[in-house]
Amino acid sequence: MPELAYLNGEILPIEKACIPIEDRGYQFGDAVYEFIASYNEKLFCLEQHLDRLERSMQGLSLPKIPREDIRAAVMTLFEKAGIARAGIYMQISRGVSPRNHPFPESAKPQFVMTIRPVEEKPPELRLTGSTAITVEDYRWGRCDLKTVQLLPNVLAKQKAQEAEAFDAIFVSPEGVVREGTSSNVFVVAGGRLMTHPLTPQILPGITRAVVIELGRSIDLPVEERFFNVDDLLSAEEAFFTGTVTEVLPIVTVDRKHIGEGRVGSITSCLYDALRQQAGA
């Protein structure tokens, strides 16, 4: 099960893969990315991830790369690595060019990927639940595009770690709960499943969409609407969703219990349903 990299058509060991110093993704954050996971040798929601990648590229006006070429490169890397539970990170930058803010006229996109075994979330978090803190959201205004401009996310995650919490939840200046540093946030309240609507302030999570459909399939009312920190703290259940996060219960926020302070039945049901759909 080799850990491999893909660099503009070449597959090689990760430690031998290098990009030029004047790559615009490195110098300007002028790049987009995706992360796809597999279960039992099958990539989950590949086409949905490619849909989002295309949308992010369009949002940054990156040069177009044919979807079939991206898909073929992903599958080639995945099959060559032979990792049953793999995580594929892909990144596309505007290219390599002498440092200058305007788009270069001649640069070609840089397409890189890595593949490794998925680093699973600690199993005890599935049983006892995770903890979170809230932080003010000061990210840029297009969080719906999956760009590599993640420094606020990094700083928020570090703040959570220093507070001995699993993650941080971004909250608007008005108190609206948005999302985690690398995940979406759901609450269960009054028998309803609620999550922030799709706006430029949150990422349209692939797992988020799957969980919404799973909720509806078990006749659980689902609302995509704004809710605040008080709504979060008074909810019966809360959880994060993400490609590797899957459905991860939240039992405390800012050291205050959510519901009874333990993993809820709806959260557990949705986690099981997601795993089943993914073929885990």
At residue 54, the 3 state secondary structure works out as: helix
Q: Which of 64, 146, 157, 256 is catalytic?
A: 146
Q: Which of 105, 241, 11, 126 is closest to 2 using CA atoms? A: 11
DSSP state of 14: G
Max CA pair span of the chain: 59
Distance in angstroms (rounded) separating the CA atoms of residues 231 and 176: 9
Spatial separation of the C-alpha atoms in residues 33 and 5, rounded to whole Å: 15
Contacts of 154 (CB under 8 A, 6+ apart): 181
Residue type, 21: I
Burial of residue 251, with CB atoms counted within 10 A of its CB: 0-12 exposed, 13-18 middle, 19 or more buried: buried
Structure tokens at 168: 């941080």
List of residues 6+ apart from 155 with CB closer than 8 A: none
Neighbours of 114 (CB within 10 A): 19
- DSSP one-letter code for 113: E
Alpha helices in 218-264 (DSSP H): 229-233
**Is 146 annotated as catalytic?**
yes
246, 247, 248, 253: CA torsion to nearest 10:
120
Q: How far apart are CA 206 and CA 151, in angstroms?
A: 22
The residues carrying an active-site annotation are 146
